[in-house]
């Protein structure tokens, strides 16, 4: 990590990506270290979270969140240390969950900060299993998927930040869990380390047949993070009264135009109708008020009792964040992708 104490490195959106995110779409700038006024504090980024939603925020399309402006710092959740404070509620040395984005330092007026235990052994968990991805898995699996003992639960992006937790929660509920992941290594990981009952590699040419074979009793809950070919292979396997928790569509985030035909819409709708499927799209920020407290209590317990395995993929250095996000969108990561920005 090359930096001097007096400057702030920040990565900004240089231009909106055409389709796939490219290196020139992001740009690193070096600016003077910001100063703080009364009521403000200066945060040092320790950990930056990389998440699929970041790709959507680069588009200028209507969505649930504002797009990142051109030349603005890329958004992102961080674990940060307070290194200067003119704010009554925060002291130097405090560890906080913040939204500093892709930069070494950020000024905050305290809004939206969550204090973390200063001696937290593994602060990056606040970005993963104990953070937004873990909460997404919790709400999507328990509130929408509602798996029952013995049911078959299908989880796409099975070794990703959300999928790895979602599948393990379903296992804790007594379901049979089948993962979908890209590549043999990830699939082995899902079965051997995360204790999924099976995992199917979507890069295989006969993926749909393999998936059907891995789900001999059909699919009762589909936790969908991907879309595209994964959706196509999963839909025909749904049982009557299946529940779909639509959590993400990473296969589409880098895509500019609709796929070539034929149009499959009628086929999906027919399945959703005749099998009496419930589908619910959800965005996790809406669920903090009602469910976050229950999540923190439950997930803390599971982690303490080591009933949930946490998988982290660590990138060293802010300067490698752009390549990290590109890899995430290609599916290169295994587990929650985080950037170690400073110690």
- Told to check if 281 binds a copy of itself by CB under 8 A, we report yes
The smaller minimum CB distance to a copy of itself, of residues 102 and 231, is found at 231
Tokens of 58: 């680069």
- Told to check if 32 binds a copy of itself by CB under 8 A, we report no
Candidates 66, 286, 297, 316: give the one binding a copy of itself (CB under 8 A): 286
Query: Smallest distance, Å, CB 275 to a copy of itself?
Result: 7
Candidates 32, 121, 216, 258: give the one binding a copy of itself (CB under 8 A): 258
- Told to check if 289 binds a copy of itself by CB under 8 A, we report no
Q: Is 171 helix (H, G, I), strand (E, B) or coil?
A: helix
Cα–Cα distance measured from residue 197 to residue 190, given in angstroms and rounded to the nearest whole number: 9
The smaller minimum CB distance to a copy of itself, of residues 32 and 258, is found at 258
Candidates 277, 325, 329, 338: give the one binding a copy of itself (CB under 8 A): 277
Query: Smallest distance, Å, CB 264 to a copy of itself?
Result: 5
The smaller minimum CB distance to a copy of itself, of residues 62 and 121, is found at 62
Single out the segment in contact with a copy of itself by CB under 8 A; choices: 88-96, 186-194, 280-288, 291-299: 280-288
> Given the DSSP bridges, would you call strands 105-108 and 41-49 parallel, antiparallel or unpaired?
antiparallel
The smaller minimum CB distance to a copy of itself, of residues 255 and 330, is found at 255
Q: How many Å separate Cα 126 from the centre of its chain?
A: 12
Contact residues for 233 (Cβ-Cβ < 8 A; gap 6+)? 180, 202, 207, 208, 211, 212
Cα–Cα distance measured from residue 233 to residue 252, given in angstroms and rounded to the nearest whole number: 16
| Interface size with a copy of itself, residues (CB under 8 A) | 41
Beta carbons within 10 angstroms of residue 216's beta carbon: 9
- Told to check if 269 binds a copy of itself by CB under 8 A, we report yes
Cα–Cα distance measured from residue 150 to residue 277, given in angstroms and rounded to the nearest whole number: 19
Candidates 240, 293, 297, 316: give the one binding a copy of itself (CB under 8 A): 240
Binding to a copy of itself by CB under 8 A, coded x per residue (else -) over 58-97, reads: -----xx---------------------------------
The smaller minimum CB distance to a copy of itself, of residues 110 and 227, is found at 227
Single out the segment in contact with a copy of itself by CB under 8 A; choices: 71-79, 155-163, 247-255, 291-299: 247-255
Contact residues for 290 (Cβ-Cβ < 8 A; gap 6+)? none
Contact residues for 201 (Cβ-Cβ < 8 A; gap 6+)? 181, 182, 183, 184, 186, 187, 207, 210
List phi, psi (to 5°) of 205.
-65, -30
- Told to check if 38 binds a copy of itself by CB under 8 A, we report no
List phi, psi (to 5°) of 315.
-100, 135
Cα–Cα distance measured from residue 282 to residue 265, given in angstroms and rounded to the nearest whole number: 21
Cα–Cα distance measured from residue 134 to residue 299, given in angstroms and rounded to the nearest whole number: 8
Residues that bind a copy of itself (CB under 8 A): 63-64, 227-228, 231-232, 240, 246-249, 251-252, 255, 257-270, 272-283, 286
């Amino acid at each position: 990590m090359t930096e001097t104490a007096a400057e702030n490195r920040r990565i900004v959106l240089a231009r909106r990506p055409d389709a796939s995110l490219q290196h020139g779409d992001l740009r690193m700038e070096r600016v003077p270290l910001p100063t703080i006024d009364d009521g403000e504090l200066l945060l040092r980024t320790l950990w930056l979270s990389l998440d699929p939603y970041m790709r959507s925020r680069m588009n200028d399309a209507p969505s649930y969140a504002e797009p990142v402006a051109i030349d603005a710092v890329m958004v992102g959740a961080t674990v940060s240390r307070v290194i200067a404070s003119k704010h009554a509620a925060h002291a130097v040395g405090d560890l906080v969950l913040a939204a500093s984005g892709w930069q070494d330092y950020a000024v905050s007026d305290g809004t939206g900060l969550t204090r973390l235990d200063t001696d937290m052994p593994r602060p990056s968990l606040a970005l993963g299993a104990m953070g937004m991805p873990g909460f997404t898995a919790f709400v999507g699996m328990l509130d929408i998927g509602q798996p029952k003992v013995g049911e078959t639960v299908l989880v796409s992006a099975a070794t990703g930040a959300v999928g790895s937790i979602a599948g393990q929660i379903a296992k804790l509920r007594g379901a049979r869990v089948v993962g979908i992941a890209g590549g043999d290594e990830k699939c082995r990981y899902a079965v051997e380390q995360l204790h999924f009952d099976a995992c199917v590699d979507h890069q295989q040419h006969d993926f749909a047949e393999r998936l059907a074979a891995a789900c001999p009793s059909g699919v009762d809950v589909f936790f969908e993070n991907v879309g595209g070919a994964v959706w196509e292979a999963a839909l025909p396997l749904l049982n009557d009264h299946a529940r779909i928790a639509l959590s993400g569509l990473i296969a589409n985030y880098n895509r500019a135009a609709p796929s070539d035909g034929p149009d499959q819409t009628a086929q999906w709708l027919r399945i959703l109708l005749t099998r009496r499927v419930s589908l619910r799209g959800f965005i996790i920020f809406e669920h903090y008020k009602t469910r976050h407290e229950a999540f923190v209590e439950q997930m803390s317990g599971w982690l303490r009792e080591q009933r949930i395995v946490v998988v982290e993929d660590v990138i060293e250095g802010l300067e490698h964040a752009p390549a990290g996000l590109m890899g995430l969108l290609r599916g290169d990561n295994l587990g929650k992708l985080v950037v170690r920005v400073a110690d």
